[in-house]
Amino acid sequence: MNSKPLIKLPSHLLPSDGRFGSGPSRVREESVRALAEVASGYLGTSHRRTGVRSIVSRLQEGTAELFGLPDDWEVVLGNGGATTLWDVLSFCLIRRRSQHLSFGEFSSKFAKAVTAAPHLEKPQIIESPFGTHPLPEASGEVDVYALTHNETSTGVQMSLSRPEGAPSAEGLVVVDATSGAGGLPWSSEEVDVYYYSPQKCLASDGGFWVACCSPSALERVEKLQDRWRPASLDLRLAIANSGKNQTYNTPALATIYLTLQTVEWMNSNGGLAWTVERCERSAKVIYDWAESSEYAQPFVVEPLQRSRTVATIDISEEIPALEISARLRENGIVDTESYRALGRNQLRIALFPVIPPEDVAALCACVDYLVERIPPEGSP
Ligand SMILES: *Cc1c(COP(=O)(O)O)cnc(C)c1O
């Protein structure tokens, strides 16, 4: 690939920013500048003092506003990201047995973590082929339903609702929303824990988790308090610290500040309704483009399941998608490669709210430009 001559994209076709990765994903320049501006009074100061705690408090309030959370919900924060939270949940929220919808890399990883936990029964795992999602099934056998708002590996989104007939205090609905939170609609009536890492849809950095918890979830955590767990994975400690606008151990202050910037940017523009509409527009741009293209098509067949925050686009076999991604990269447009484990000839493009729909349109034009000019396989 490297020996082939560069295909330089004309500058008028280029998007305003070349970052289209699904996580870590594009961070707004404005957020980084805002952080730089407050840095001397914020970075390097105590997370137990009012300076940082007031930022944490604004983040908690802004998050509750963004999602329209009822007053009796808590916005709980901790270190380690969504992957760590899976372990937290297996110690502190699942009583005996959970049900998992497994339809891609991330949803299957949570199921795997729970399967390996010696103190829990083997979970119910409901699978469906990649590119689709299964539905939860009400069951008297389970006390947690583990859903994924957006499966980042395959670009499949699902709408969130309690399984029909499931009593809510018995079967808590727990949603991994890492690549959907802030871009996809949901209702707090249908969910008990809505959690995510902020380096995807929320345009911040990693190593941190946010979990919006209903009163039923908070009550469950209290009931399970006697079970042994490492302190670093103790949701009860995290809840207690979050009540004081703190975390159990030291967080990355920059991550918190960048997350707050995105949340306040979203709220000041019209909140979740605005971001959802923006992601819908980006999704329409890319799926319409793929459907009318000779060589591209949406990977997800069912239009309602096509993610509005992470698009997966199959490319005809005669054009290697990896070469398209490599040539985009030579032009400063990065991280359009498909999820490695999926193994498809595919592009994966983030449509997160900070990415303007115009940039998604520009990217499509850039791909067309390259595909017209990439020499066929085997040519010198
Ligand atoms: C990226 C991702 C994770 C893992 O997040 P980390 O911050 O790396 O732990 C979990 N779930 C989903 C849906 C993701 O997209």
Q: Which of 152, 157, 205, 259 to mutate to test ligand 1, by most ligand atoms within 8 A of the CB atom?
A: 152
Within the chain, strands assigned E span: 74-79, 98-102, 124-127, 144-148, 150-151, 156-157, 172-176, 193-196, 208-213, 296-298, 310-315, 346-350
Q: Which burial class, exposed, middle or buried, applies to 292 when counting CB atoms under 10 A from its CB (0-12, 13-18, 19+)?
A: exposed
For 121-248, strand residue ranges (E) read 124-127, 144-148, 150-151, 156-157, 172-176, 193-196, 208-213
CA of 147 to the centre of ligand 1 (A): 13
Task: Give the SS3 label for residue 169.
Answer: coil
178 alpha carbon to ligand 1 midpoint, in Å?
A: 6
Pick the residue whose CA is nearest to atom 14 on ligand 1. Answer: 178
Atom of ligand 1 nearest to the CA of 80: 9
Distance 82 CA to ligand 1 centre (A): 5
Residues with a CB atom less than 6 Å from ligand 1 = 23, 81-83, 106, 148, 152, 176, 178-179, 197, 200, 206
pLDDT value at position 174?
A: 98
Dist CA 232 CA 238 (whole Å): 9
Query: Number of helices (H) and strands (E), helices first, in the chain?
Result: 10, 12
Q: What is the pLDDT of residue 375?
A: 85
Quickly count: other Cβ atoms within 10 Å of residue 73's Cβ. Answer: 22
The pTM score is 0.97
pLDDT tens-place values along the chain, 380 residues long:
456 899 999 999 999 999 999 999 999 999 999 999 999 999 999 999 999 999 999 999 999 999 999 999 999 999 999 999 999 999 999 999 999 999 999 999 999 999 999 999 999 999 999 999 999 999 999 999 999 999 999 999 999 999 988 776 689 999 999 999 999 999 999 999 999 999 999 999 999 999 999 999 999 999 999 999 999 999 999 999 999 999 999 999 999 999 999 999 999 999 999 999 999 999 999 999 999 999 999 999 999 999 999 999 999 999 999 999 999 999 999 999 999 888 899 999 999 999 999 999 999 999 999 999 998 776 65
State the DSSP string of 92-112.
HT-SS-EEEEE-SHHHHHHHH
Q: How many residues does the chain have?
A: 380
Quote the pLDDT of residue 168.
Answer: 67
CA distances from 194 to 84, 145, 208 (A): 15, 12, 14
User: pLDDT value at position 376?
Assistant: 77
Contact 90, 114 (CB under 8 A): yes
Distance CA 341, CA 345 (A): 12
Q: How far is the CA of 111 from the centre of ligand 1 (A)?
A: 14
Give the number of the atom of ligand 1 that is nearest the alpha carbon of residue 22: 15
- Given this model, what pLDDT does residue 25 score? 98
Ligand 1 atom, smallest distance to 153 CA? 15
Between the CA atoms of 53, 58, 63 and 64, what dihedral angle is there, to the nearest 10 degrees? 100
- Nearest residue (by CA) to ligand 1, atom 13, is 178
